[in-house]
Chain A
Amino acid sequence: MATSPRAGSSEMRFKKVCKFCERGIRHIDYKDERLLRSFLTDRGKILPRRATGTCARHQRQLDTAVKRARFLALVPYIHGYYS
């Protein structure tokens, strides 16, 4: 799942750049569930920065956006839980 090196080493691979910064930022729209989904695991959890390479600022925006999207049922809280 996470692509960061394990076992004690917590370095982030700096090959990745923040996808939002790259494209010239903007505000992350909580309504854009396609975009949001790409930052969630298959279970619906929010991926850590070290896995996505997102910068701190955008990660915070992402978090709020995902939480709003979850509230609006655009994205599940837990995937596959509701049958």
Chain B
Amino acid sequence: MREYEIVYIFRSVLSNDEIEGRLERYHEKLLSHPGSEITAIEHWGKRQLAYPIAGNDNGYYVVAQFRTIPAALPEFERLLKLDDELLRHLVVLSEGEFAPLGASDEGAGESAEAPAEAPAEVTAEEGAAAPAGSEVDATPAAAEEAEEGTAEEAEEKTPAPLAAEAETETAATASDGDVTESGE
């Protein structure tokens, strides 16, 4: 049993019902393997794409976490490829955190994160979640008892304006607090 994470990008023209339907179908396929479970589903909703995919400028993002046996994946992914309305999908091993859209990484550093690059099999523990609209260099703030937003923003020397990006969606959604639903 391994913990995986998947990001789906559906064509934005689909209705919510259709998307739900497809998600159901795909997840059932996974669940058909005993012991598998879907530990979290998060709908990011419509987002502007950084570049056009298949002629679309935006897409409907869904992020899900699940647990299953490795052997279940090829068939699962094969199914996903067949869907014309699913523009992209990416399955990765869970990295031990589950940050909602646009959140900084602060919240994940609570307990033993696997220090190495190798993804750990830790279940998502984004317990405290990200404070609303947190920016990476702004005070990581209240949510993290350990963190203190000291003057880290001062040393930002990179040319790209930090968090001044007009990704309005990211600022709006931030932490819904529903991240904690990921079963621990």
Contact = CB atoms under 8 A, between A and B. Distances in A.
Interface of A: 1, 3, 16, 19-20, 22-35, 37-42, 47, 51-53, 57, 60-61, 64, 68, 70-77, 81-82
A27 B158 contact: no
Q: Which of A27, A53, A72 has the most CB of B within 10 A?
A: A27
A24 B101 CA distance: 21
A7 to B, nearest CB: 20
A34 B170 contact: yes
Contacts of A73: 9, 49-51, 53, 59, 88
B156 A27 contact: no
Contacts of B115: 25
A33 B105 contact: no
Interface of B: 7, 9, 49-53, 59, 61, 63, 88, 90, 92, 95-97, 99, 101-106, 108-109, 113-117, 119-120, 135-137, 140, 146-147, 152, 155-160, 162-163, 165, 167, 170
Contacts of A37: 160, 162-163, 165
A53 to B, nearest CB: 8
A41 B157 CA distance: 11
Given A41-B159, A57-B117, A29 B63 contact: no
Contacts of B162: 37-38
Contacts of B90: 68, 71-72
B54 to A, nearest CB: 11
16 contacts: A16-B157, A23-B109, A23-B152, A25-B115, A27-B97, A34-B163, A37-B160, A38-B137, A38-B160, A39-B158, A68-B90, A72-B61, A77-B51, A81-B51, A82-B51, A82-B52
Nearest to B110: A26
Contact of B152 (A19, A39, A40, A77): A19
B77 to A, nearest CB: 15
A53 B155 CA distance: 10
Given A22-B152, A29-B97, A34-B163, 14 more contacts: A20-B105, A23-B109, A26-B113, A29-B108, A33-B167, A34-B167, A35-B104, A38-B137, A51-B158, A68-B92, A71-B88, A72-B61, A73-B9, A77-B50
